[in-house]
Structure 1
């Protein structure tokens, strides 16, 4: 196998030795070898990196839910191949950032985490239990009364008290774990509307996540909030504006979208693309955008949405345009929530497409801000079980079957021991498992080249599960701007909050 692998790698390098490597600086013509000269160019560029130690005016925290290093590598290649390149030399926008670290993601009670505990760490500086939203670990999960004295202040709350503008964006429901942890406090992540509160919780003083966004008590409230989850903001007798067969989920009769609009003449609610496009940043609006009853569409499906939805990049651009009008600065959290959902479905194509859009949103934010006064942090809350393997030749379609270059220089399928081909990407567990009832292992199912590249294809997995699980691996933190140099080595996930507070020169204990 080692000899075979060596032959494959040698053939790949020989076939592609003239391919230019992408770097941040023009390659110096030293040897004529693209990778050698590219490394020299990268070295020269890295020597020019300086540490920005001045106070940050703005902080933008980007979270791609479930985007572990394997997902980044696959998305990098997918992004390049979508432009007709081989893909391996490509870099996603944030991979050009000068500083990075690895983040440990475990929850205080779980080796493999969930998004509630991981985002709480980043949003508050406190690591906590799985399933809890900005509530300290001393409170048991689901215990309303205990949680009331264990609220952990979030960076959005602290920023509002300091007079900064604030924004929250997600392609998931705005009440989902990651966005919720920036503005809400609940001991159970599923308390997204009052209909999900257990008996006695409201009387004890606990409130659902959606209402906490509208009733946000700090500063002048969250200034910009966009995502999905309309049903959590509408009463159960209210018809959804986009889907006439759906109604709201609230049982308390509150129409939270109407309450948002009633706050001031500047407050506006939008639910479709036309209304989004009509928002005028010069009017200094306070905008709530809810574009779906539940999660937004995957990027692969967004153009087919009936009422239209803005892309993650478009929402990011609009947020920066509006929030940057505050001379004191702003903080913004942007989540690509559906990378995670696609992985749970064993659907790598949609995960990579959403990761690609996420990288474009990061590029937009970097372009619109000044690295001298804006700290941009790009990371993930946790990983997944995506695998990337099989000795495919360089430039092989990242979503395709494994093909290699044989000793005759021919590009050919690489069969497994059962004689059948297999895909480069797979999962350790999930719905694509072959080890499940009704599947004859002697007839391992595998699609054609066209089928496995399809957007709906579920990559093969080992352990059969209805939903693929999270992974416990570390994730990468990429950073640019004031305080970015503080990211190095391997750190606890809650360290991200402390760097943000230090960069903004704000006390992490403000409440």
Structure 2
């Protein structure tokens, strides 16, 4: 087991008196995971899969008028055990990193950057003081495509500035295949409280007991995942999804890399992805496997892009489209389904890289079948790789695709650049099942990996649109149920591990119910009376949601009794606890008095109550939270996911189950 192996290595590290450096305190830093003026990437406490490929970079910094000493060296030694390159008898011996790795480093580089040392400097710079930031001068060396094939614990030491040292201890894990296929479902931003609320509004209950449960409720294994970032308490979707795909923590906005301080967002030290490992898996473990990516977001958005892209900046979406088929060793997934059409063309609203027609490029260069609406998706029965792009940006949420359909007509969302709305978008379950059909036809013998994301749980929690967010939790749960049924029909259920989790949390919770009829009976000035409509404890009662047709979704979203729900972190806004039938909420708008501040949007819940911000005044939507997220598992290898685990461990457990190591 990966966890047992990791614990053994931790004990080994302790036995050889290796003490990890404590992360530096403070909100601002010179460079993430760089504890001193000498930086090593991957940093201390990193874990690797034996045989995986990764880049190494060192940086030496000097601040203000000082210059970095360019006479530095990097060494590596294996702690205990025998290894022909790093032992001398029974005593470990440090070896020059280039000699040991047999990788020639790139030519030494130099550049400058600047950073704010604290909040005072940050806000002074924001207000126009260009001298508030501290200049940094850098000397750097990079080694590309390094491999460590032998499991164990390794110490890497950067020696610089005449005697200073930065040490990093790396752990290398083995793997043994247990399953043919893995499906990783990600409810972006989904928490236990959201699942609880989704269950409440969708499942019948008698005498306080549910008579029917969600599909997630029925998984045999439940654990929790810690989500903190490499260098901050709160993670974003890019580096949290990257942790699932690489086994390494990173910084906000980064995909498959450790962010360095260079100007380019593409030269940062990379780590090999699950999809890349699966594409080159050795024959003894099954050979090359299939890859599927499904999302209700843009397929270049953080979570889906983490499956196939490498960049420090998640917003480089046009280049991310190119990386899928033109990267150094491109993933070229078998299935890509979701939104993001504007990055594939240069027509109306198009933003493709260099004006390239990527629909044509994907089709001509790699044989993709291209579809753009629900009917074409469901009609496809072929074996060719499938690219389905159904919206110019993020796909519309379940609520608007299925209940308030007139909202779809309000934007030029057609993925091909016609300027028309996209009125025939598929649901998540339809995309996932079709994707599984294609993967099964292409890789039934070898096996496959699919990542499927319910993206708008997060995208609706940000603007405090809780009804739409919970509807997307229910869409995910409905998709899980249909996926399990499809696997069973096709006799793949015993060969497939299903994992359901989230990449990060929001601080959402439910604390009662609201009588909206009573709430609406008072004038806008009678806010205290409006608040009396909130029932807590014995007066909380049951909400009005009913699922009479049994499809897993409430039949009515605008009943009298709704949920008293909210988050701990929000901008100044107005709240009426009722669904916005006209589309996604816009809780705050820019103040006319300051470029830093946002005020409550008067058009959002105009007859609601005022809620003053708990966030910085330059935030106009809610933000992520620190809380652990749940992980559910079913199928071969599911037992590995029980208990509390770091988000990087999800990668190592998937890698073990699929046999992606040596």
- TM-score normalised per structure 1: 0.71
Counterpart of 2:344? Answer: 233
Per the TM alignment, residue 387 of structure 1 is displaced from its structure 2 partner at its CA by 2.2
2:371 paired residue number: 270
Matching residue of 1:341: 459
Q: Distance in 1 between matches of 2:622 and 2:182?
A: 33
**3-state secondary structure, aligned to 1:328:** coil
Does the Cα contact within 8 Å between 2:266 and 2:310 map onto a contact in 1?
no
384, 393, 411: which one pairs with 1:285?
Answer: 384
- In 2 relative to 1, CA 63–141 (structure 1 residues): closer, same or farther, beyond 3 Å? farther
Q: CA deviation at 1:216?
A: 5.0
Deviation of 1:504 after TM superposition, in Å, equals 1.0
Mapping for residues 166-245 of structure 1, pairs under 5 Å: 166-193=291-318, 208-216=319-327, 218=329, 221-235=332-346, 238=347
- 1:40 aligns with none
Q: Is the 8 Å Cα contact of residues 175 and 192 (structure 1) preserved in structure 2?
A: yes
- What count of residue pairs does the alignment treat as equivalent? 400
Q: Are residues 1:92 and 2:214 paired?
A: yes
Task: Report if aligned partners of 2:499, 2:634 keep a CA contact under 8 Å in 1.
Answer: yes
Query: Does the CA-based 8 Å contact 1:76-1:87 persist in structure 2?
Result: no
Kindly state the Cα deviation for residue 363 of structure 1 after the two structures are TM-superposed: 1.3
| Structure 2 counterpart of 1:318 | 434
Pairing 1:63-78 to 2, within 5 Å after superposition: 63-78=186-201
Q: Once the 2 structures are TM-superposed, how far is the Cα of residue 403 of structure 1 from its aligned partner?
A: 3.8
Distance 2:240 2:538 in 1: 45
Q: Distance in 2 between matches of 1:411 and 1:287?
A: 45
SS of the residue corresponding to residue 144 of structure 1 reads: coil
Match of 1:160 among 279, 296, 309: 279
* Equivalent position of 1:495 in the other structure: 649
Q: 1:221: Cα distance to partner?
A: 2.3
Structure 2 counterparts to residues 377-392 of structure 1, below 5 A: 377-390=499-512
Look up the match of 1:480.
634
Match of 1:427 among 544, 547, 567: 567
2:355 is equivalent to residue 253 of structure 1: yes
Quote how far apart the aligned CAs of 1:316 are.
0.5
Contact persistence 1:62–1:333 (CA under 8 A): yes
Query: Which of the two has higher C-alpha Rg?
Result: 2
Q: 1:142 to 1:291 in 2, by over 3 A?
A: farther
Unaligned stretches of 5+ residues in structure 1: 1-52, 194-207, 239-245, 394-399, 413-420, 435-444
Partner of 1:21: none
Is this contact kept in 2: 1:346–1:432, CA < 8 A? no
**Is 2:254 the partner of 1:144?**
no
Separation (CA, whole Å) in 2 of partners of 1:141 and 1:334: 33
**Contact kept? 1:385, 1:470, Cα under 8 Å:** yes
Q: Hey, what does 1:60 align to over in structure 2?
A: 183
Out of 460-469 and 103-112, give the one that drifted further.
460-469
Residue 301 of structure 1: SS of its match in structure 2?
helix
Cα distance in 1 between the residues matched to 2:612 and 2:508: 11
Indicate the residue corresponding to 2:413 in structure 1.
none
State the shift of 1:334 in Å: 0.2
Cα distance in 2 for partners of 1:216, 1:284 equals 24
Q: Match for residue 41 of structure 1? A: none
Q: CA deviation at 1:492?
A: 0.4
Contact 2:247 2:652 in 1 (8 A): yes
Distance 1:343 1:372 in 2: 35
Q: Bigger CA drift: 114-123 or 248-257? A: 248-257
454, 479, 486: which one pairs with 1:368? Answer: 486
Cα RMSD over matched residues?
3.3
Between Structure 1 and Structure 2, which shows a larger proportion of strand residues?
Answer: 2
Shift of 1:74: 0.8
Tell me, yes or no, if the aligned pair for 1:105 and 1:492 is still in contact at 8 Å: yes
By how many angstroms is 1:271 displaced?
1.2
Give the secondary structure class of the aligned counterpart of 2:569. Answer: strand
Whether the 8 Å CA contact 2:378–2:434 is kept in 1: the answer is no
Which residue of the partner structure matches residue 416 of structure 1?
none
Q: Is the 8 A contact 1:171 1:337 kept in 2?
A: yes
Question: Does the Cα contact within 8 Å between 1:99 and 1:487 map onto a contact in 2?
Answer: yes
The residue aligned with 1:468 is 622
- Which whole-Å CA distance do the structure 1 matches of 2:213 and 2:572 have between them? 29
Greater relative contact order, per chain length (Cα 8 Å cut-off, separation 6+): 1
What are the Cα deviations for residues 390-442 of structure 1, in whole angstroms up to 9, with x where unaligned?
Answer: 4889xxxxxx96446969x9999xxxxxxxx99521122325635xxxxxxxx
d(CA) in 2 for partners of 1:85, 1:316: 36
Moved more, 84-93 or 158-167: 84-93
Shift of 1:214: 2.6
What stretches of structure 2 of length at least 5 have no aligned partner?
1-175, 282-287, 409-421, 516-531, 544-560, 588-604
* Residue pair 1:77, 1:87 contacting (<8 A) in 2 also: no
Matched, 1:134 2:250: no
Aligned pair in 2 of structure 1 residues 91, 431: CA closer, same or farther (>3 Å)? Answer: farther
Tell me the equivalent position of 2:447.
329
Partner of residue 26, structure 1: none
The whole-number CA distance in structure 1 between the counterparts of 2:573 and 2:626 is 20
For the residues of structure 2 that align with 1:321 and 1:231, how far apart are their CA atoms? Answer: 27
- SS for the counterpart of 1:212 is helix
Q: Which has the higher helix share?
A: 1
Given that residues 76 and 90 in structure 1 are in contact (C-alpha distance below 8 angstroms), is that contact kept between their aligned partners in structure 2?
no
CA contact (8 A) 2:255 2:311 kept: yes
Q: Distance in 2 between matches of 1:70 and 1:381?
A: 15
